[in-house]
Protein backbone atom coordinates (compact mmCIF):
# COMPACT_ATOMS: atom_id res chain seq x y z
CA UNK A 1 0.00 0.00 0.00
CA UNK A 2 2.87 2.34 0.84
CA UNK A 3 4.21 1.77 -2.62
CA UNK A 4 0.90 2.84 -4.18
CA UNK A 5 0.78 5.94 -2.03
CA UNK A 6 4.38 6.75 -2.99
CA UNK A 7 3.49 6.40 -6.66
CA UNK A 8 0.42 8.60 -6.26
CA UNK A 9 2.51 11.27 -4.51
CA UNK A 10 5.05 11.22 -7.34
CA UNK A 11 2.20 11.32 -9.86
CA UNK A 12 0.65 14.30 -8.12
CA UNK A 13 3.91 16.24 -8.12
CA UNK A 14 4.52 15.62 -11.82
CA UNK A 15 0.82 16.09 -12.50
CA UNK A 16 0.91 19.47 -10.82
CA UNK A 17 3.54 20.57 -13.32
CA UNK A 18 1.44 19.27 -16.22
CA UNK A 19 -1.58 20.98 -14.69
CA UNK A 20 0.13 24.37 -14.52
CA UNK A 21 1.25 24.17 -18.14
CA UNK A 22 -2.16 22.88 -19.22
CA UNK A 23 -3.79 25.69 -17.27
CA UNK A 24 -1.71 28.21 -19.20
CA UNK A 25 -2.62 26.59 -22.51
CA UNK A 26 -6.32 26.51 -21.59
CA UNK A 27 -6.28 30.10 -20.36
CA UNK A 28 -4.72 31.31 -23.59
CA UNK A 29 -7.16 29.22 -25.60
CA UNK A 30 -10.15 30.52 -23.68
CA UNK A 31 -8.95 34.12 -23.98
CA UNK A 32 -7.51 34.21 -27.48
CA UNK A 33 -9.00 31.14 -29.15
CA UNK A 34 -5.52 30.01 -30.12
CA UNK A 35 -3.72 26.81 -29.30
CA UNK A 36 -0.32 28.05 -28.19
CA UNK A 37 2.25 25.60 -29.49
CA UNK A 38 5.15 27.61 -28.11
CA UNK A 39 4.01 27.09 -24.52
CA UNK A 40 6.61 24.39 -23.88
CA UNK A 41 9.28 26.96 -24.68
CA UNK A 42 7.67 29.50 -22.37
CA UNK A 43 7.95 26.82 -19.65
CA UNK A 44 11.63 26.36 -20.57
CA UNK A 45 12.25 30.11 -20.67
CA UNK A 46 10.63 30.55 -17.26
CA UNK A 47 12.85 27.82 -15.81
CA UNK A 48 15.99 29.49 -17.18
CA UNK A 49 14.90 32.90 -15.95
CA UNK A 50 14.19 31.44 -12.50
CA UNK A 51 17.60 29.77 -12.48
CA UNK A 52 19.36 32.97 -13.48
CA UNK A 53 17.55 34.96 -10.78
CA UNK A 54 18.39 32.23 -8.25
CA UNK A 55 22.06 32.10 -9.19
CA UNK A 56 23.02 35.56 -10.42
CA UNK A 57 20.90 37.61 -8.04
CA UNK A 58 21.40 35.03 -5.29
CA UNK A 59 17.75 35.33 -4.28
CA UNK A 60 16.13 32.52 -2.26
CA UNK A 61 13.99 30.04 -4.16
CA UNK A 62 10.56 31.52 -3.42
CA UNK A 63 11.40 35.11 -4.47
CA UNK A 64 13.19 33.68 -7.52
CA UNK A 65 10.04 31.72 -8.37
CA UNK A 66 7.81 34.79 -7.99
CA UNK A 67 10.17 37.04 -9.94
CA UNK A 68 10.48 34.46 -12.73
CA UNK A 69 6.68 34.29 -12.91
CA UNK A 70 6.45 38.07 -13.26
CA UNK A 71 9.31 38.41 -15.76
CA UNK A 72 8.06 35.56 -17.95
CA UNK A 73 4.55 36.96 -17.76
CA UNK A 74 5.87 40.29 -19.05
CA UNK A 75 7.78 38.52 -21.80
CA UNK A 76 4.49 36.80 -22.67
CA UNK A 77 2.73 40.16 -22.89
CA UNK A 78 5.52 41.41 -25.15
CA UNK A 79 5.30 38.36 -27.40
CA UNK A 80 1.54 38.73 -27.72
CA UNK A 81 1.80 42.46 -28.34
CA UNK A 82 4.61 42.28 -30.92
CA UNK A 83 3.82 39.08 -32.78
CA UNK A 84 0.47 37.41 -32.19
CA UNK A 85 -1.42 40.73 -32.14
CA UNK A 86 -0.43 41.38 -35.74
CA UNK A 87 -1.88 38.06 -36.79
CA UNK A 88 -5.11 38.53 -34.91
CA UNK A 89 -5.52 41.98 -36.46
CA UNK A 90 -4.73 40.61 -39.89
CA UNK A 91 -7.67 38.30 -39.35
CA UNK A 92 -9.98 41.28 -39.11
CA UNK A 93 -10.62 41.27 -35.40
CA UNK A 94 -9.29 40.15 -32.08
CA UNK A 95 -9.42 36.51 -32.98
CA UNK A 96 -8.21 34.59 -35.95
CA UNK A 97 -8.38 30.87 -36.08
CA UNK A 98 -6.56 28.79 -38.59
CA UNK A 99 -3.20 27.78 -39.86
CA UNK A 100 -1.48 31.17 -39.55
CA UNK A 101 -1.62 31.15 -35.78
CA UNK A 102 -0.64 27.49 -35.52
CA UNK A 103 2.37 27.96 -37.77
CA UNK A 104 3.42 31.13 -35.98
CA UNK A 105 3.16 29.20 -32.69
CA UNK A 106 5.57 26.58 -34.01
CA UNK A 107 7.78 29.36 -35.37
CA UNK A 108 7.82 31.10 -32.01
CA UNK A 109 8.73 27.79 -30.40
CA UNK A 110 11.79 27.44 -32.65
CA UNK A 111 12.78 31.08 -32.16
CA UNK A 112 12.58 30.82 -28.36
CA UNK A 113 14.51 27.55 -28.35
CA UNK A 114 17.29 29.07 -30.41
CA UNK A 115 17.44 32.21 -28.32
CA UNK A 116 17.76 30.05 -25.20
CA UNK A 117 20.42 27.93 -26.91
CA UNK A 118 22.45 31.02 -27.77
CA UNK A 119 22.21 32.38 -24.25
CA UNK A 120 22.50 29.25 -22.11
CA UNK A 121 23.89 26.55 -24.43
CA UNK A 122 22.63 23.02 -24.90
CA UNK A 123 23.77 21.22 -21.79
CA UNK A 124 21.46 20.76 -18.81
CA UNK A 125 22.05 23.17 -15.94
CA UNK A 126 21.56 22.18 -12.31
CA UNK A 127 19.07 24.13 -10.20
CA UNK A 128 20.52 23.39 -6.77
CA UNK A 129 17.77 24.24 -4.32
CA UNK A 130 18.31 22.98 -0.76
CA UNK A 131 14.79 21.75 -0.03
CA UNK A 132 15.90 20.01 3.13
CA UNK A 133 15.56 16.45 4.35
CA UNK A 134 12.58 14.30 3.33
CA UNK A 135 9.68 14.15 5.75
CA UNK A 136 8.94 10.73 7.29
CA UNK A 137 5.20 9.98 7.50
CA UNK A 138 4.77 6.46 8.84
CA UNK A 139 6.53 4.23 6.34
CA UNK A 140 6.43 6.93 3.72
CA UNK A 141 9.35 9.15 2.87
CA UNK A 142 8.08 12.41 1.47
CA UNK A 143 10.77 14.43 -0.32
CA UNK A 144 10.44 18.13 0.31
CA UNK A 145 10.78 18.89 -3.40
CA UNK A 146 7.41 17.13 -3.97
CA UNK A 147 5.83 19.01 -1.10
CA UNK A 148 7.08 22.24 -2.64
CA UNK A 149 5.75 21.44 -6.10
CA UNK A 150 2.31 20.41 -4.87
CA UNK A 151 1.85 23.21 -2.36
CA UNK A 152 3.28 25.95 -4.60
CA UNK A 153 1.16 24.68 -7.49
CA UNK A 154 -1.97 24.73 -5.33
CA UNK A 155 -1.21 28.24 -4.09
CA UNK A 156 -0.73 29.50 -7.62
CA UNK A 157 -4.01 27.92 -8.68
CA UNK A 158 -5.84 29.47 -5.73
CA UNK A 159 -4.28 32.81 -6.67
CA UNK A 160 -5.47 32.44 -10.25
CA UNK A 161 -8.95 31.48 -9.08
CA UNK A 162 -9.12 34.58 -6.85
CA UNK A 163 -7.86 36.79 -9.67
CA UNK A 164 -10.45 35.50 -12.10
CA UNK A 165 -13.40 35.24 -9.71
CA UNK A 166 -12.92 37.97 -7.11
CA UNK A 167 -11.44 40.94 -8.99
CA UNK A 168 -12.74 43.35 -11.62
CA UNK A 169 -9.70 42.52 -13.70
CA UNK A 170 -10.63 38.86 -13.62
CA UNK A 171 -14.20 39.68 -14.50
CA UNK A 172 -12.95 41.67 -17.50
CA UNK A 173 -10.70 38.79 -18.56
CA UNK A 174 -13.59 36.36 -18.32
CA UNK A 175 -15.85 38.71 -20.24
CA UNK A 176 -13.29 38.96 -23.05
CA UNK A 177 -12.93 35.20 -23.06
CA UNK A 178 -16.69 34.79 -23.29
CA UNK A 179 -17.46 37.35 -25.99
CA UNK A 180 -15.01 39.94 -27.19
CA UNK A 181 -17.50 42.11 -29.08
CA UNK A 182 -19.88 42.48 -26.15
CA UNK A 183 -16.92 43.02 -23.82
CA UNK A 184 -15.71 45.80 -26.12
CA UNK A 185 -19.16 47.39 -26.19
CA UNK A 186 -19.21 47.24 -22.38
CA UNK A 187 -16.14 49.46 -22.30
CA UNK A 188 -13.54 46.80 -21.58
CA UNK A 189 -10.13 47.34 -23.12
CA UNK A 190 -10.15 44.06 -25.02
CA UNK A 191 -6.59 44.19 -26.45
CA UNK A 192 -5.19 44.90 -22.98
CA UNK A 193 -7.17 41.99 -21.50
CA UNK A 194 -5.94 39.68 -24.26
CA UNK A 195 -2.34 40.70 -23.50
CA UNK A 196 -2.95 40.17 -19.82
CA UNK A 197 -4.51 36.75 -20.38
CA UNK A 198 -1.56 35.72 -22.52
CA UNK A 199 0.86 37.04 -19.92
CA UNK A 200 -0.86 35.14 -17.09
CA UNK A 201 -0.83 31.97 -19.21
CA UNK A 202 2.91 32.37 -19.76
CA UNK A 203 3.45 33.08 -16.05
CA UNK A 204 1.79 29.74 -15.22
CA UNK A 205 4.16 27.98 -17.64
CA UNK A 206 7.11 29.71 -15.97
CA UNK A 207 5.91 28.60 -12.53
CA UNK A 208 5.86 24.98 -13.73
CA UNK A 209 9.36 25.31 -15.17
CA UNK A 210 10.85 26.79 -11.99
CA UNK A 211 9.12 24.16 -9.83
CA UNK A 212 10.41 21.17 -11.83
CA UNK A 213 13.87 22.67 -12.45
CA UNK A 214 15.47 21.40 -9.22
CA UNK A 215 14.37 17.82 -10.00
CA UNK A 216 14.81 17.54 -13.75
CA UNK A 217 17.45 20.25 -14.37
CA UNK A 218 17.00 23.07 -16.81
CA UNK A 219 17.78 22.64 -20.48
CA UNK A 220 16.77 24.01 -23.85
CA UNK A 221 14.83 20.93 -24.95
CA UNK A 222 12.83 20.50 -21.76
CA UNK A 223 9.67 22.02 -23.25
CA UNK A 224 8.61 19.49 -25.86
CA UNK A 225 7.88 16.53 -23.59
CA UNK A 226 5.89 18.56 -21.10
CA UNK A 227 3.96 20.36 -23.85
CA UNK A 228 2.69 17.07 -25.26
CA UNK A 229 1.65 15.84 -21.81
CA UNK A 230 0.06 19.19 -21.00
CA UNK A 231 -1.96 19.09 -24.21
CA UNK A 232 -3.08 15.59 -23.29
CA UNK A 233 -3.99 16.88 -19.82
CA UNK A 234 -5.90 19.85 -21.25
CA UNK A 235 -7.87 17.59 -23.60
CA UNK A 236 -8.56 14.99 -20.89
CA UNK A 237 -9.91 17.70 -18.60
CA UNK A 238 -11.77 19.52 -21.37
CA UNK A 239 -9.94 21.94 -23.63
CA UNK A 240 -10.46 25.52 -22.54
CA UNK A 241 -11.78 24.52 -19.10
CA UNK A 242 -9.53 25.77 -16.31
CA UNK A 243 -10.66 23.29 -13.62
CA UNK A 244 -10.49 20.64 -16.34
CA UNK A 245 -6.84 21.48 -17.04
CA UNK A 246 -5.98 20.99 -13.37
CA UNK A 247 -7.90 17.74 -13.12
CA UNK A 248 -6.43 16.50 -16.43
CA UNK A 249 -2.89 17.35 -15.37
CA UNK A 250 -3.17 15.53 -12.06
CA UNK A 251 -4.86 12.54 -13.71
CA UNK A 252 -2.18 12.28 -16.39
CA UNK A 253 0.57 12.50 -13.77
CA UNK A 254 -0.95 9.85 -11.50
CA UNK A 255 -1.86 7.45 -14.33
CA UNK A 256 1.65 7.80 -15.75
CA UNK A 257 3.24 7.12 -12.38
CA UNK A 258 1.02 4.13 -11.56
CA UNK A 259 1.52 2.70 -15.05
CA UNK A 260 5.28 3.03 -14.73
CA UNK A 261 5.19 1.45 -11.28
CA UNK A 262 2.86 -1.48 -11.98
CA UNK A 263 3.15 -2.18 -15.71
CA UNK A 264 6.41 -0.90 -17.19
CA UNK A 265 8.35 2.32 -17.04
CA UNK A 266 9.68 1.76 -20.54
CA UNK A 267 6.34 2.82 -22.02
CA UNK A 268 5.63 5.54 -19.47
CA UNK A 269 4.69 8.10 -22.10
CA UNK A 270 2.05 5.82 -23.56
CA UNK A 271 -0.21 5.74 -20.48
CA UNK A 272 -1.11 9.43 -20.75
CA UNK A 273 -2.28 8.91 -24.29
CA UNK A 274 -4.19 5.72 -23.48
CA UNK A 275 -6.01 7.79 -20.87
CA UNK A 276 -6.59 10.48 -23.48
CA UNK A 277 -8.09 7.99 -25.94
CA UNK A 278 -10.31 6.43 -23.28
CA UNK A 279 -11.63 9.81 -22.12
CA UNK A 280 -12.28 10.95 -25.68
CA UNK A 281 -14.15 7.72 -26.42
CA UNK A 282 -16.44 8.18 -23.42
CA UNK A 283 -16.70 11.98 -23.37
CA UNK A 284 -15.26 13.66 -26.45
CA UNK A 285 -15.38 17.12 -24.89
CA UNK A 286 -13.19 16.02 -21.97
CA UNK A 287 -14.14 15.28 -18.36
CA UNK A 288 -15.15 18.83 -17.44
CA UNK A 289 -15.53 20.14 -20.98
CA UNK A 290 -18.78 21.45 -22.39
CA UNK A 291 -20.25 20.52 -25.74
CA UNK A 292 -18.41 22.29 -28.53
CA UNK A 293 -20.21 25.37 -29.73
CA UNK A 294 -19.37 28.28 -31.93
CA UNK A 295 -17.89 31.12 -29.94
CA UNK A 296 -19.03 34.65 -30.67
Partner 1 sequence: MPYPGIRCALLTAAMATGLAAAPARAEDGVIRIGISLRMIVENGLKYGQMAKDELEAVNAEGGINGKKIEVILLDDECKPDKGIANVNRFIHQNKVHLVMGSVCSSVSMPQVDITTKEEVPQIVSSSTNADITKKGSAWVFRTSVSERFYASVHAKYLSENVGKKVAYLYTTDTAGIGFAKDYMAFMRRTYKVEPLYEAQMQESDLDFRAHLLKIKSLNPEVLAIGGQLDAIARIVQQSYEVGIPKKVRRVSASAASNAPVPELAGDAVVGLAFAAAFSCKDERPVAQAFVKMVQEKYKVRCPDHDFSQTYETAQLIKLALKNAKLELTDASLKADRAAIRDALANIRDYHGLAAGPINFCADPTPQCRDGNRTGILVEYTKGGKDYDMRVLARVGFDPDFGL
Residue 267, number of CB atoms within 10 A of its CB? 11
User: Binders of partner 1 among 199-258, rule CB under 8 A?
Assistant: 215-217, 219, 222, 225, 257
**Does 128 engage in binding with partner 1 (CB under 8 A)?**
yes
Give the nearer residue to partner 1 in terms of CB position, either 80 or 256: 256
**Does 143 engage in binding with partner 1 (CB under 8 A)?**
yes
**Does 33 engage in binding with partner 1 (CB under 8 A)?**
no
Using H for helix, E for strand and C for coil, what is the string for 23-57? HHHHHHHHHHCCCCCCHHHHHHHHHHHHHHHHHHC
Out of 14, 156, 176, 275, the only residue in the binding site for partner 1 (CB under 8 A) is 14
How far apart (Å, rounded) are the C-alpha atoms in residues 43 and 18?
Answer: 11
Out of 60, 126, 132, 284, the only residue in the binding site for partner 1 (CB under 8 A) is 126
**Does 261 engage in binding with partner 1 (CB under 8 A)?**
yes
Out of 6, 170, 184, 243, the only residue in the binding site for partner 1 (CB under 8 A) is 6
Classify residue 141 as left (phi > 0), alpha (psi -120 to 50) or beta.
beta
Task: Tell me which residue of 288, 208, 214, 280 sits closest to 15, measured CA to CA.
Answer: 208
Out of 118, 266, 291, 294, the only residue in the binding site for partner 1 (CB under 8 A) is 266
Task: Tell me which residue of 48, 15, 76 sits closest to 201, measured CA to CA.
Answer: 76
How far apart (Å, rounded) are the C-alpha atoms in residues 109 and 268?
Answer: 25
Q: Provide the binding-site residues for partner 1, judged by CB under 8 A.
A: 2-3, 6-7, 10, 14, 121-126, 128, 134, 141, 143, 145-146, 215-217, 219, 222, 225, 257, 260-261, 264-266, 268-269
Amino acid sequence: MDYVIDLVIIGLSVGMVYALVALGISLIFSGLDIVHFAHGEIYMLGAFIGLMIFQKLALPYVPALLLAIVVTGLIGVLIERLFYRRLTRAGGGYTVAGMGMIISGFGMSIVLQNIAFLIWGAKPLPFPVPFGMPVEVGNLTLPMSYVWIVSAGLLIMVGLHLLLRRTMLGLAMRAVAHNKDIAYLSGINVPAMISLTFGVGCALGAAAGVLIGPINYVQVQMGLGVLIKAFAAAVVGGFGSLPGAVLGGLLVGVVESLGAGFISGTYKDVYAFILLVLVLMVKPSGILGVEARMKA
